[in-house]
Amino acid sequence: MPTSDHYVIIGNGPAGNAAAFTLRENDPDARITIISHENISFYAKPKLVRYLAGDIDKSALMVKEPDAYLQNNIRLRLGQTVMRIDLQNRCLHLAHMETVQYTRLVIASGSRARLLPSMKPYADCLTFVTEYNDIKGMREKIAAGKHFFVFGGDLVAFKFLKMLTHMKKQVTLLLYPKAFWPHTLTHAMQKTIVDNLARTGAHILVNDDLDTIVPEEQGGYNVTTQQGVKKQADLVFTFNGLIPNVDFARGCGLDIDHGILVDETMRTCLENVFACGSCAQIYNPDLTAYTTSIGWPNAVAQGKVAGLNLAGETCRVQQAGRKYFDLEGVKIKTTWWEDADREDTEGEDTDREGNDRKDADFKNTERKDVECKDTDRDRKTGEKDGR
């Protein structure tokens, strides 16, 4: 493949990194750039909550330090936001008015917090925990604060709630049965969850909704629910699931539904544009449904396939089947979630294993996730032989 080709990857999460490093393994000369709007190297989002709670420090959050990119000759552009994709001219428009040309593009822009329509008017009062940027300065505020309000009820919310109560903070959780998107909790499920969570000492509200959030002058918020519950909180958090982060790609000509539509080679409707990880939407024949693959292992598997296909192979991603996992005593069946931070919460000594474990998630996803079909390669033989 000619070295003048420029492979640009939007996103520095597990999918983007898997794509970049897989491509590097298969093409030592490729010119590779990763663009990410966050000003931090590759880190483990699943650990954000523990970092927030002061449980781990920043170094334990990191998966790859900038050196790894230097060594692998991958250009890492941090703190740069892609505003728009121009497919016709094969370039990206960045927020600081620079344009970046690409030959092949991988969109791995991940997901962002789902904001419920009823919460839209109060967006400015809410704290999200979806990326490092969101939580800068929050660690100190949490340490200093006493009362917290949590809306939602996804897995991260429960984990967070437990951490706060463990820190002897007073927490009110307003549980939304629809928060665990795309699953809606039944009454029975909800009851089990509430019973389990109540043991933490948190105040759990159900069958209620947000009425108003009023910021106080000296900091903090007054939260009122529709049932008339009034709470003062130092911070108000919301956890209502994640949605693909693809707004910047809308209107550029790619087919976008909830996420960017891709086939099992992670190709979009255009030959030279790929999407993988949480921002991609793919049909899963086993489930006869589309999924936006929120979840670390899926992101890595898809990133690898994108990387291999960028390098000229024709590989198909093998879709994950459904797995059960435990949501506060309720078994939920999903394809997309695996508690990537599970071992840690079970009390393993992470400091001891340190760096080894950081990369473990990444390395463990071996080629078994990837199925290469020789027949499919024919189309690409020319390119492959040339390499």
Partner 1 sequence: MKTNGLYSKEEKIFQDKNKLYQAHSVKQIAYSTDPRDFGQVAKSIPCQEACPARTNIPGYIRCINEKRYGRAYELNRGANIMPGVLGRICSRPCETACRHGAPDNGVSVGICHLKRACADLKSPMHRIIEGLYAPSGKSVAVVGSGPAGLAAAHDLAILGHRAVVFETMEKPGGMLMYGIPEFRLPRDLLMTEINNILRLGVELKTGQAVGTHITLETLTREFDAVVVAAGCTKPRLLGVEGEDLENVYNGLDFMKQINKLIGDKLIGDRPQLINRINSGQSPIDRQINRGLSPIKKINWGLSPIKNVAVIGGGFTAVDCARSAIRLGAEQVTLYIRKTMDDMRIDETEKHEARFEGIGVESLVQPARILGENGRVSGIEFVRTRIETTEKPPYKKSVPIAGSEFVVPCDSVIAALGQAPDAHDVSDALTGLDKDSPATGMKGVFAAGDFVTGSTDVISAIAGGRRTALAVDLYLTAMERKKTVVRLESHATTDRPRSYDFIDRVPMNTIAMDQRLADHTREVETGFDPDQALAESRRCYLCSLKYEIDPLRCIYCSACIDVAPKDCIKMVETIPVNADGTYGRYVETGQWDRVVSITIDNEACIRCGQCYEVCPMDCISVTKTELIQMDMDE
Q: Contact positions toward partner 1, by CB under 8 A?
A: 83-84, 93, 97, 117-118, 120-121, 250, 255-258, 261, 269, 283, 285, 288-290
* Residue 117 contact, options partner 1, ligand FAD, none, Cβ 5-8 Å cut-off depending on partner type: partner 1
Residue 49 or 202: the one with the smaller Cβ distance to ligand FAD is 49
Length of the chain: 387
Q: Please count the other Cβ atoms lying within 10 Å of the Cβ belonging to residue 340.
A: 16
* Residue 334 contact, options ligand FAD, partner 1, none, Cβ 5-8 Å cut-off depending on partner type: none
* Residue 269 contact, options ligand FAD, partner 1, none, Cβ 5-8 Å cut-off depending on partner type: partner 1
Residue 197 or 213: the one with the smaller Cβ distance to partner 1 is 213
The minimum distance between CB 293 and ligand FAD, in angstroms, equals 8
Residue 231 or 248: the one with the smaller Cβ distance to ligand FAD is 248
* Residue 52 contact, options partner 1, ligand FAD, none, Cβ 5-8 Å cut-off depending on partner type: none
* Residue 347 contact, options partner 1, ligand FAD, none, Cβ 5-8 Å cut-off depending on partner type: none
The minimum distance between CB 379 and ligand FAD, in angstroms, equals 27
- Between CA 117 and CA 68 the distance in angstroms is 41
Neighbouring C-alpha atoms within 13 Å toward the C-beta of 134: 21
Q: Where are the beta strands (DSSP E) in 263-329?
A: 273-275, 280-284, 289-292, 315-317, 323-327
The binding site for ligand FAD (CB under 6 A) comprises 10-16, 35-38, 45-46, 48-49, 81-82, 108-111, 129-130, 156, 245, 248, 277-279, 294-296, 299, 337-341
Residue 6 or 93: the one with the smaller Cβ distance to partner 1 is 93
Residue 22 or 291: the one with the smaller Cβ distance to partner 1 is 291
365 sits in the region (left: phi over 0; alpha: psi -120 to 50; else beta) called beta
* Residue 204 contact, options ligand FAD, partner 1, none, Cβ 5-8 Å cut-off depending on partner type: none
Tokens of 376: 């499919």
Q: Which of 158, 177, 101, 79 is nearest to 325 (CA)?
A: 158
253 sits in the region (left: phi over 0; alpha: psi -120 to 50; else beta) called left
Judge contact between 380 and 267, C-beta under 8 A.
no
- Helices and strands (H, E) in the chain, number of each type: 12, 25
